[in-house]
Structure 1
Amino acid sequence: MKNVLLLTIGTFALGFDAYVIAGLLPEISTTFNITDSQGGQSVTVFTLCYALAAPIFATLVAGKSIRIILVIALAVFSIANGASALVTNFSLFLIARAMAGIGAGLFSPLASVAASSLVSEQKRGRALGLTLGGLSMGTALGVPLGLIIAEQIGWKGTLWVIAIIGLMAMIGILFFFPNLSAETPPSLRHRIAMIANKHVLAIVGITFLTSIASIGLYTYIASILQSIKGIHLITPYVWAWGIGGVVGSFSIGPLIDRTGRPALLTAGLLAVLALVMISLPFIFHFPVFVFILIFLWGVMAWAFQAPQQHRLIQLQSNHAEAVVALNSSANYLGGAVGSMIGGVALFAGLSSSQLPIASGCLLFIAFLGQLLIMLSNNKVRKLKIG
């Protein structure tokens, strides 16, 4: 499991980088003399490139050494984070964030493939759990740490720390990781057929809507806290979200195995998440409840992906890696779209305090969509039985 831990360090850096910018947004906006809505687009370009990197580069890396690809991905990711700290204008900052997203998007799905290839089938779930858990740990531990670092030496210092962690993982993989070859991805015809499959499309569509509402909203968490309650010290709230993410990431798997009802779990998670979002602006006079709701937001948001992936693998067992990558792309693409829509809404005059309500309404639509999927599947089963 030593090599899996190296992958986990890499995904920790990815999770750290993907979510810490939201907390640093006010400082970044001040540095470049821009609005929060403009600064939020740095999250948009990162998540957009993260989402698109895997499918774009999948064919190019087929048959190549996974170790070399992972090293290159982490090198791009780390150098881009260093560049993000060095640039002197916002346009160059956006380019650097885009490059960091490309490196992250190339590393993440390959890390999952490598983790499952390094261990026996009996330990595969644990290996994948460790690798994917690195993302949530990067949020739970890395993001608050990054905010503390930013308070002491500025937001650029946080990005340098992320770059160093990425380089550490890169060096470890370069010298200690075994040679594995990336599998040949499905053909273009198979990919089109997979995307055209209405069941796959429905599940991925729910992922996309949920990510617009959840990840997109997280981009503006600092602005929301400041707007509603004048809260400037957001670290405790980010801790609550991140710890909730760790709880959700590591608890949902056993729950899926125990119930055998991933679709029902998805519906439940969406219902709770919608209620949490809609309730947020109304409970800021009660600090304890703010922490509880943000904690629940983290739990539901991070737990949501596992049952979605489980259902997709059941539908496309012959192309499990490709269909999970498709869902991952939808997740981060949704986050990019959500960040962009949030920025446009703020620019148009919508108050930050109204963003959670808008997100909650979108999540309720996703919940209704999930119910329709379940009803449709039940009808299909009855027809088959009949």
Structure 2
Amino acid sequence: MTNRANGTGRMPAGLIALTLGSFGIGLTEFVIAGLLPQVSRSLDVSEAAAGWLISGYALSVAAGAIVVTAATGGLPRKPVLVGLVALFVAGNLLSAVAAGYPMMLLGRVVAALCHGSFFGIGSLVARRMVPPERASRAVAVMFAGLTLANVLGVPFGALIGERWTWRATFWAITAIGVVALVAIAALVPGWAGAADRTHPAAATGLRGLRAQLHAFRSGQVWLTLAATALGYGGMFGAFSYIAYTFTHVTGFAAADVAWLLVVYGTGLVIGNLAGGRAADGDRDRTLIGSLAGLAVTLIAFGALAAYAAAAVVLVFLLGLFGFAGVPGMITRVTDYAGGVPLAASANVSASNVGNALGAWLGGLAISAGLGYTAPLYAGAALVLAALAVMAVSARRAAADRPVR
């Protein structure tokens, strides 16, 4: 028996609910960047300490994606998703009422614990609500909330924070979380979180942590995770220092950075949706093409960063190619892992590890005196490594006739 949506192209209401959840979680991740000066002054902490509200969140995402997903692997997925959004609401509520820095940091950590597992488990539920040939598109629709949050997060936080203080921003995100919780509870069908009997792990009756770990016996899972980490690392390593590139190399004013980031975010949104559609046609070719496009973009950006018009076009392409591979990477790793949630969450962890690696390498390049275009070339090197890994993986997959 199948309960998947029909092929009419109509978007299931449950998928819209998941998109709303991803939007709220994305806001929590990105909004803090525009609020750090306010938070630092209000809580009387240094800029470095305030920075831990970002880095502590990222580390908690990487750890929580694995730990929380493994701990809930044997439970029905819809109640787990509802519980994760409840955790998100609690974390942001703590941040909104924080009397001091320790409580604020705790709120960030609590909110982050749901992040990786929500996207990992949610992506599996999303693809169950549509026909198999639209799986990557369903994942892309869910992740559209995250990409929109990237575009709107910083200006959203800054606008509310400047008008009503930074606490109002976290109250607003808490409210969005409550709406998402109710929507997921009401609109996501219970059958979408049931075990997928078409996958090997389910067919053999493996459950819980044993099934989760069994999935990692596949070399294709590890190759996909490696390509994810390297590809993300290349894009975000370059993006971490893009404001310096714009102001010190291209010659834009600091005030221009905000709209340039919107251009980048627009590329993320379009790349995510286009990449999901393309991956449903030929997934591995889409992934190789997106990585190749990203590598070329980064190299061209490094060479042409001094030219304003080129910089605007290339930052858009950075977002476009950088996120075009995300839906396909997630469906690929979960297919080869037999559909277990831990693999999808591990993909989120891999991207966060890649982010940290890329930012570290970009910082090293700048510290070495190579200039503010150096992170672009360092990012290109990481993406070329990801392309090589993906090419090897695709060749092996073609020989082994992988699950689709």
The residue that corresponds to 1:277 in the other structure is: 298
Deviation sequence 1:156-184 (CA, Å, 0-9, x none): 54443322211221233445655566648
For structure 2, the 5+ residue unaligned runs are 1-11, 196-201
- Answer yes or no: is the 8 Å Cα contact 2:229–2:351 preserved in 1: yes
Q: How big is the shift at 1:11?
A: 1.0
Looking at structure 2, the residues matched to 216 and 41 of structure 1 have their Cα atoms a distance apart, in angstroms, of 18
Decide which moves more: 241-250 or 72-81: 72-81
Q: How big is the shift at 1:304?
A: 1.5
Q: How big is the shift at 1:298?
A: 0.9
Question: In 2 relative to 1, CA 100–142 (structure 1 residues): closer, same or farther, beyond 3 Å?
Answer: same
Looking at structure 1, the residues matched to 215 and 75 of structure 2 have their Cα atoms a distance apart, in angstroms, of 24
Q: AA paired with 1:34?
A: E
Looking at structure 1, the residues matched to 105 and 115 of structure 2 have their Cα atoms a distance apart, in angstroms, of 15
- Answer yes or no: is the 8 Å Cα contact 2:141–2:273 preserved in 1: no
1:50 and 2:61 matched: yes
Q: How big is the shift at 1:25?
A: 5.5
Counterpart among 383, 387, 394 of residue 367 in structure 1:
387
Aligned-CA RMSD value: 3.8
Decide which moves more: 180-189 or 167-176: 180-189
Q: How big is the shift at 1:66?
A: 4.2
Query: Which structure has the highest helix share of the two?
Result: 1
- Answer yes or no: is the 8 Å Cα contact 1:84–1:159 preserved in 2: yes
Counterpart among 112, 115, 118 of residue 104 in structure 1:
115
The residue that corresponds to 1:250 in the other structure is: 273
Looking at structure 1, the residues matched to 127 and 219 of structure 2 have their Cα atoms a distance apart, in angstroms, of 28
Deviation sequence 1:324-378 (CA, Å, 0-9, x none): 3332331233224445666787789886553333222222332333344455667
Question: In 2 relative to 1, CA 93–225 (structure 1 residues): closer, same or farther, beyond 3 Å?
Answer: farther
Q: How big is the shift at 1:295?
A: 0.9
Q: AA paired with 2:149?
A: G
The residue that corresponds to 1:234 in the other structure is: 257
- Answer yes or no: is the 8 Å Cα contact 1:13–1:138 preserved in 2: yes
- Answer yes or no: is the 8 Å Cα contact 1:44–1:340 preserved in 2: no
1:335 and 2:355 matched: yes
Question: In 2 relative to 1, CA 348–133 (structure 1 residues): closer, same or farther, beyond 3 Å?
Answer: same
Looking at structure 2, the residues matched to 11 and 238 of structure 1 have their Cα atoms a distance apart, in angstroms, of 20
Looking at structure 2, the residues matched to 154 and 278 of structure 1 have their Cα atoms a distance apart, in angstroms, of 41
Q: How big is the shift at 1:251?
A: 0.9
Decide which moves more: 53-62 or 369-378: 369-378
1:201 and 2:222 matched: yes
Looking at structure 1, the residues matched to 365 and 35 of structure 2 have their Cα atoms a distance apart, in angstroms, of 20
Question: In 2 relative to 1, CA 117–308 (structure 1 residues): closer, same or farther, beyond 3 Å?
Answer: closer
The residue that corresponds to 1:294 in the other structure is: 315
Deviation sequence 1:113-138 (CA, Å, 0-9, x none): 33344566687666444323222222
- Answer yes or no: is the 8 Å Cα contact 1:40–1:340 preserved in 2: no
Looking at structure 2, the residues matched to 146 and 193 of structure 1 have their Cα atoms a distance apart, in angstroms, of 42
- Answer yes or no: is the 8 Å Cα contact 1:45–1:336 preserved in 2: no
- Answer yes or no: is the 8 Å Cα contact 1:43–1:336 preserved in 2: no
TM-score of the aligned structures, taking structure 2 as reference length: 0.76
- Answer yes or no: is the 8 Å Cα contact 1:144–1:238 preserved in 2: no
The residue that corresponds to 2:87 in the other structure is: 76
Identity of aligned residues (%): 26
The residue that corresponds to 2:3 in the other structure is: none
Q: How big is the shift at 1:224?
A: 4.8
Deviation sequence 1:28-62 (CA, Å, 0-9, x none): 66774325xx7555433323322332432234334
